[in-house]
Chains A and B, each alone.
Chain A
Amino acid sequence: MTITAKWRGRLLYVGVAAVVAYCLAPFYWMLVSSLRRTSDIFDTSLLPSTVSFENYRAVFSPSQGFTRALLNSLIVAGITTALALLLATFTAYAMARLEFRFKRLILTLIIATSMFPVVSIVVPLLKLFTDIGWINTYQSMIVPSMSFALPLAVWNLTTFFRQMPDELEHAAMIDGCTRGQAFRKIIIPLAAPGIFTTAIITFIAAWNEFLIALSMTNKPAMQTAPVAISKFSGATQFETPFGSQMAAGVLVTIPLVVMVLLFQRRIVAGLTAGAAK
């Protein structure tokens, strides 16, 4: 018994190592490539022959406006996520808890809207936003981003709310809570892992959006990080700035991971505190 338990523990760590290797090996390659000098970018050695930060310097050179772009991305993705989560929470609650007609149809419609290729909706929106003077504004990027963020959030939240036992809510309501309070105090905390995961996924989707952000802005001060990366160039039109693209890739990925780590601690802490009670 103890032997099998030991083996199980070992097996777990083998599994964990496999997962980590699978996810991070290509990323490691990205990191290594970003640390190579432009002249030995074609190397396939596992460590850079000379560690160089020239790519990072190139990314942060003032002409790229990358810092500003990161900030813009943060604003656009942050507001998109917050708005989408807010609207989706209402909708998902209705989907999960209320009985009403056309529920299936509405749910299908919501997901159907997220399916139209972005390339087909961008020109009508561009025309619309030009007419109302929204070009080079945050809302011109946030509102279209809702087209994919909202369905994603609604569907995920609906499943997670649905998994919550409604009897608990009823009990709370019997104890004098209003429906809203019961929802806020019982369902939201219990569904926290689901809400948190939904927020991360929505945020990442909005963070990486490219075509809308590219089409709706033409001022460097308004561009988001993916747009800024697309404007990286080599010294001539033929040189691909692969090193700085990889450096930028590392730079846009790391903040997300750090953010997840920070928030995750809190959520997990909150959960275990609740369970320990």
Chain B
Amino acid sequence: MADIKTPPGTAVDEPGRAADRRPGQPFPEAGLRRTRTRATAGSGRMATLLVSPTLLVLSVVVLYPTIMALKESLYGTKGLDPKTGFIRTTEPFVGLRNYTGIFGAAGDRFWNAFWNTTFFTVVTVGLETLIGVAMALIMHKAFRGRALVRAGILVPWAVPTAISALLWRWIFNSNGIANAVIGHQILWTTEGFHAKVAVIIAEVWKTAPFIGLLVLAGLQVIPKEVYEAARIDGASALGQFWHITLPLVKPALLVAVLFRCLDALRMFDLPYILVGAQKNSVETLSMLAQNEASNVRFGPASAYAVLLFLYVLLIALAFVRVLGADLVGDGGATGRSAGRRRRRITALRRAEVTA
């Protein structure tokens, strides 16, 4: 890796350095940060001004309902009064019992849904990343009709999820086109691993373009000069990709992957419509929460939603940690090399502007 020639100043040393810094370790360049902070004195007030509208909107539409759901998760299901035949009007307070329930008898279903959700997320996001990046690299090349093709790859992402789930259900019908193409009848919507495969195929088809588009946008903002410099230095195509392209699109790619992870963890419509409700092979946490809510058990439903939320939050935190440097710019070594990278790009741009 180190002996591939790359132009000085590109981020060749970045991955290694980033790995060196263990999470939680204080950043070696706090001093530099402080200077920078002082340099932009008063930016705190400005930041408050710029950030608060977003936070305000989000607290109205999300925070309030979320707190309601948190509270709800501490309550049980309303019981039936055997004398009157009516459901009681109050819900019993059960404390954390809705949460501890997942370790008890009813836990099997929760853990099954948990593993399904995790499995779908890992596999689909992994495949989407590979396919999406490949798409972006191809689309980034200049060729005739590129605009048309680029709009074309949007199609899967643009089809509403419910409609695409119906489409795939039709494709995976016992007498559908999928079986006609492979010349063998697989009953895709029955329980079993093939049901998972059907969901994964449909999900990857629909969302790989999302990653493709964001990575493509990331590629487009990389100045060509960086590549020219690399080519002059004799870097191979693979070397260029690995040492220039990938580090430079990393932020865009990671944000795309993050959003995909979060979405995949909440996957609902696709397995629900494509394979069906209550199929153990494909039941996800969202489907479980929905099932509880639709049976008017709002307490357990909220508990599942909160657990899913925590799970997702954990992943988001991990991403913020990884992304921190590129996103908020206070990440020590990585920050420095990113800064260096930017400086170099700037120099190139200046050259371009003056030329």
A/B touching: CB–CB < 8 A: yes
- Per the 8 Å Cβ criterion, residues 319-355 of B in contact with A are 320, 324, 326-330, 342-343, 345-346, 349-350, 352
Q: Which residues of B contact A201 (CB under 8 A)?
A: 157, 210, 213-214
Query: Which of A51-59, A64-72, A165-173, A215-223 is the contact stretch?
Result: A165-173
B177 and A106 form a contact (CB under 8 A): no
Q: Roughly how many angstroms separate A107 CA and B305 CA in the complex, as a whole number?
A: 21
B166 and A242 form a contact (CB under 8 A): yes
**In the complex, per-residue mask of B31-59: 1 if CB is within 8 Å of any chain A CB, else 0:** 00100110010011011101101110110
Do A260 and B151 contact each other (CB < 8 Å), given the known contacts A44-B176, A93-B50? Answer: yes
A42 and chain B: residue at smallest CB distance: B175
**In the complex, per-residue mask of B279-321: 1 if CB is within 8 Å of any chain A CB, else 0:** 0000000100110010000000110010011001100110010
- Per the 8 Å Cβ criterion, residues 157-175 of A in contact with B are 158-160, 162-168, 171
Q: Does A60 contact B (CB under 8 A)?
A: no
What's the nearest-Cβ distance from chain B to residue A124, in Å?
A: 4
Do A91 and B342 contact each other (CB < 8 Å), given the known contacts A253-B155, A253-B158? Answer: no
What's the nearest-Cβ distance from chain A to residue B142, in Å?
A: 9
Q: Roughly how many angstroms separate A117 CA and B287 CA in the complex, as a whole number?
A: 11
**In the complex, per-residue mask of A178-216: 1 if CB is within 8 Å of any chain B CB, else 0:** 000000000000110110111011001001101000000
A94 in complex: contacting residue of B50, B151, B262, B316, CB < 8 Å: B50
Q: Which residues of B contact A208 (CB under 8 A)?
A: 158, 160-161
**In the complex, per-residue mask of B203-235: 1 if CB is within 8 Å of any chain A CB, else 0:** 001001110011011101100000000000000
Q: Which residues of A contact B43 (CB under 8 A)?
A: 98-100
B161 and chain A: residue at smallest CB distance: A208
What's the nearest-Cβ distance from chain A to residue B6, in Å?
A: 19
Q: Does B162 contact A (CB under 8 A)?
A: yes
B156 in complex: contacting residue of A23, A42, A101, A107, CB < 8 Å: A23
What's the nearest-Cβ distance from chain B to residue A71, in Å?
A: 17
Q: Does B86 contact A (CB under 8 A)?
A: no
Q: Does A82 contact B (CB under 8 A)?
A: no
B217 in complex: contacting residue of A94, A101, A171, A196, CB < 8 Å: A196
Q: Does B168 contact A (CB under 8 A)?
A: yes
B269 and chain A: residue at smallest CB distance: A210
Question: Interface on chain B toward A: helix, strand, loop, or mixed SS?
Answer: helix
A257 and chain B: residue at smallest CB distance: B151
B167 and A95 form a contact (CB under 8 A): no
Q: Roughly how many angstroms separate A219 CA and B322 CA in the complex, as a whole number?
A: 47
B73 and chain A: residue at smallest CB distance: A120
B329 and A261 form a contact (CB under 8 A): no
Q: Which residues of A contact B151 (CB under 8 A)?
A: 257-258, 260-261, 264
Query: Which of B8-16, B19-27, B60-68, B98-106 is the contact stretch?
Result: B60-68
Q: Roughly how many angstroms separate A182 CA and B346 CA in the complex, as a whole number?
A: 15
Q: Roughly how many angstroms separate A12 CA and B161 CA in the complex, as a whole number?
A: 31
Q: Roughly how many angstroms separate A111 CA and B255 CA in the complex, as a whole number?
A: 11
- Per the 8 Å Cβ criterion, residues 100-159 of A in contact with B are 100-101, 103-104, 106-117, 119-125, 128, 143-144, 146-147, 150-152, 154-156, 158-159
What's the nearest-Cβ distance from chain B to residue A117, in Å?
A: 5
Q: Does A252 contact B (CB under 8 A)?
A: yes
Q: Which residues of A contact B186 (CB under 8 A)?
A: none
B54 in complex: contacting residue of A91, A115, A253, CB < 8 Å: A91
Number of B residues, CB within 8 Å of A: 107
Do A257 and B157 contact each other (CB < 8 Å), given the known contacts A90-B51, A107-B328, A226-B162? Answer: no
A115 and B171 form a contact (CB under 8 A): no
A145 and chain B: residue at smallest CB distance: B61
A25 and chain B: residue at smallest CB distance: B205
Q: Roughly how many angstroms separate A258 CA and B46 CA in the complex, as a whole number?
A: 39
Query: Which of B87-95, B118-126, B133-141, B189-197 is the contact stretch?
Result: B133-141
A115 and B150 form a contact (CB under 8 A): no
Q: Roughly how many angstroms separate A225 CA and B158 CA in the complex, as a whole number?
A: 13
Q: Does B30 contact A (CB under 8 A)?
A: no
Do A99 and B346 contact each other (CB < 8 Å), given the known contacts A16-B149, A30-B167, A256-B154? Answer: no
Do A111 and B40 contact each other (CB < 8 Å), given the known contacts A166-B342, A201-B213? Answer: no
B138 and A15 form a contact (CB under 8 A): yes
A116 in complex: contacting residue of B62, B155, B205, B328, CB < 8 Å: B62
Do A260 and B154 contact each other (CB < 8 Å), given the known contacts A16-B143, A120-B301, A197-B214? Answer: yes
A230 and B162 form a contact (CB under 8 A): yes
Q: Does B1 contact A (CB under 8 A)?
A: no
6 A-B residue pairings within 8 Å (CB atoms): A16-B149, A147-B61, A156-B252, A162-B327, A194-B220, A257-B151
Closest 8 A/B residue pairs (Cβ): A121-B65, A165-B346, A249-B163, A197-B217, A124-B65, A113-B62, A94-B50, A100-B47
Q: Report A's interface with B, CB cutoff 8 A.
A: 12-13, 15-16, 19-20, 22-24, 26-27, 29-30, 33, 42, 44, 87-88, 90-91, 93-96, 98-101, 103-104, 106-117, 119-125, 128, 143-144, 146-147, 150-152, 154-156, 158-160, 162-168, 171, 190-191, 193-194, 196-198, 200-201, 204, 207-208, 210, 225-226, 229-230, 242, 245-246, 248-249, 252-253, 256-258, 260-261, 264-265, 268, 271, 275
Please name 19 further chain A to chain B contacts, defined as beta carbons within 8 Å, in addition to the given A22-B205, A106-B55, A156-B214, sorted by A numbering: A24-B152, A33-B170, A87-B53, A91-B51, A115-B312, A115-B313, A120-B69, A120-B301, A150-B54, A159-B218, A194-B221, A194-B252, A201-B213, A226-B162, A246-B163, A252-B158, A257-B152, A261-B151, A265-B147
